[in-house]
Homo-oligomer: A and B are copies of this chain.
Amino acid sequence: MRDVAVYGVGTSVFGKQPEATVFDLAWQACAEALDDARVDRVDAVFAATVFEPTGTAQRILHGLGIAGVPVVVVENACASATIAYHEAYESIRRGRYEVVLAMGIEQMSSRITGAIQPQLSDPEGQMGFAQPARYAMAAQRYMYRYGVTPEQLAAVAVKNSENGAANDRARHQHALTVDQVLGSRMIADPLTLYQCCSISDGAAAAVLGPPRQGAADVSIRSSELVGGALWDYTTDDVPGFDIVRRAGRGAYQMADAVPDDVDVFEVHDAFTIGEIVSSEALGIVDPGLGAELVASGGSAVSGTRPINPSGGLLARGHPLGATGLAQVAEIVWQLRGRAGARQVAGAKLGLVETAGGGAAGLDWTACAVSILEGNGE
């Protein structure tokens, strides 16, 4: 098996932009990624979307002048784009293709009004047990167990809003205060509106291939995909996140790294509690200390363990099929030292983590974790 690198990345602006078609968004992201990668062809495409109809990815590629190569469209809820990236990685690593485009696309605001509704065929969905309710239950239990306060929980949204304010492609670019976060409308106690990621429109892309001589490419040290239950209903360990732990363990092992080696993280903060529990599952902090890490500024861009410098799902927005590759793009920019006002100083090793479990109550979730390394350029 051979090494794999990211040659280039690109994203559209993320936001509520119903006037932009999915083609507008995708062409922007893919053109930037292909230009950044300095390649004149790709051998295959792995595309990700949750809601776009069949043929959308192919029509995007047609418009880009990419023709005559295999295209595989993948869907795994919120982790769709990270899985497109993972499949691209595996296809190169194992010698199936040379240069591969991974792209994630989603135009949600013209299609979905309000929140994503649970499916009525789903027993948990019938009970109204959508994602906010699920995360809220975990948050309640977590707060009870570790004595965490609503203010500490809100600190995640505050930090990510500050990071988003330095990201001109983020959906939300206004720094929030703890009072603003806690004062926003209650969605599922204790999660207020500003503690939930927003439906968004966006696209992101990456071009992957075997390492090149002297290029500004970023090495993929590891990529791990696992499936299982995100939430553990069988023990008192309600936050669960065992699959994040497993995917992280696999990715660290393959990269021959430990959590302390990693300089910057993009993790799946669909809700504030998600970032806290993920940071523990990924070994960034010990269990129970995730809230303290963020409240103390430790996970700020200037902190010792920077998490979600892009603003994360909370501030960048969460167009389901695009998010994972936007996380990859942020880490690539960070490792190249080109993240502008939100640059983590001297970042050499970065980690992407995305969990995807469907819109309605699923005990079945995918988690993908990848560790990337800059070449010091």
Chain A contact residues, CB within 8 Å of chain B: 21, 50, 53-55, 58-59, 61-62, 67-77, 83, 87, 90-91, 94-96, 119, 121-122, 225-229, 357-360, 362-366
Among B74, B228, B359, B364, the residue within 8 A (CB) of A74 is B74
Interface core residue of A67, A72, A229 (most chain B CB under 10 Å): A72
Q: A55-B362, A61-B364, A69-B227 are in contact. List 5 more A-B contacts (CB 8 A).
A: A59-B364, A67-B228, A73-B74, A87-B87, A94-B96
Interface core residue of A95, A358, A359 (most chain B CB under 10 Å): A358
Cα distance, A123 to B53, chains bound together (Å):
15
Nearest B-chain residue to A225, judged by Cβ: B70
Contacts of A62 in B (CB 8 A): 362-364
Cα distance, A319 to B110, chains bound together (Å):
28
Interface core residue of A54, A72, A96 (most chain B CB under 10 Å): A54
Contacts of A359 in B (CB 8 A): 53-55
Interface core residue of A94, A227, A228, A362 (most chain B CB under 10 Å): A227
Contacts of A67 in B (CB 8 A): 227-229, 363-364
Cα distance, A365 to B21, chains bound together (Å):
22
Nearest B-chain residue to A125, judged by Cβ: B55
**A71 & B358 in contact (Cβ 8 Å cutoff):** no
Cα distance, A119 to B23, chains bound together (Å):
14
Nearest B-chain residue to A367, judged by Cβ: B70
**B72 & A122 in contact (Cβ 8 Å cutoff):** no
Among B54, B59, B122, B228, the residue within 8 A (CB) of A59 is B122
Contacts of A74 in B (CB 8 A): 72-75
Cα distance, A93 to B76, chains bound together (Å):
23
Cα distance, A357 to B62, chains bound together (Å):
13
Cα distance, A358 to B91, chains bound together (Å):
24
**B50 & A77 in contact (Cβ 8 Å cutoff):** no
Q: Shortest CB–CB separation between residue A44 and chain B, in angstroms?
A: 8
Q: Shortest CB–CB separation between residue A108 and chain B, in angstroms?
A: 13
**B95 & A77 in contact (Cβ 8 Å cutoff):** no
**B70 & A366 in contact (Cβ 8 Å cutoff):** yes
Interface core residue of A357, A364, A365 (most chain B CB under 10 Å): A364
Contacts of A21 in B (CB 8 A): 121
**A54 & B70 in contact (Cβ 8 Å cutoff):** no
The 6 closest A-B pairs by CB, nearest first: A55-B358, A58-B364, A94-B94, A68-B228, A73-B75, A70-B227
Sample of 15 A–B contacts (CB below 8 Å): A54-B75, A54-B76, A54-B358, A55-B122, A55-B360, A55-B362, A58-B362, A59-B122, A68-B228, A72-B76, A72-B225, A73-B74, A74-B75, A90-B91, A94-B96
Among B87, B94, B122, B363, the residue within 8 A (CB) of A95 is B94
Cα distance, A64 to B361, chains bound together (Å):
17
Q: Shortest CB–CB separation between residue A263 and chain B, in angstroms?
A: 28
Cα distance, A189 to B89, chains bound together (Å):
46
Cα distance, A327 to B376, chains bound together (Å):
51
Q: Shortest CB–CB separation between residue A246 and chain B, in angstroms?
A: 9
Contacts of A77 in B (CB 8 A): 54-55
Among B68, B96, B227, B357, the residue within 8 A (CB) of A90 is B96
Contacts of A122 in B (CB 8 A): 55, 59
Q: Shortest CB–CB separation between residue A54 and chain B, in angstroms?
A: 5
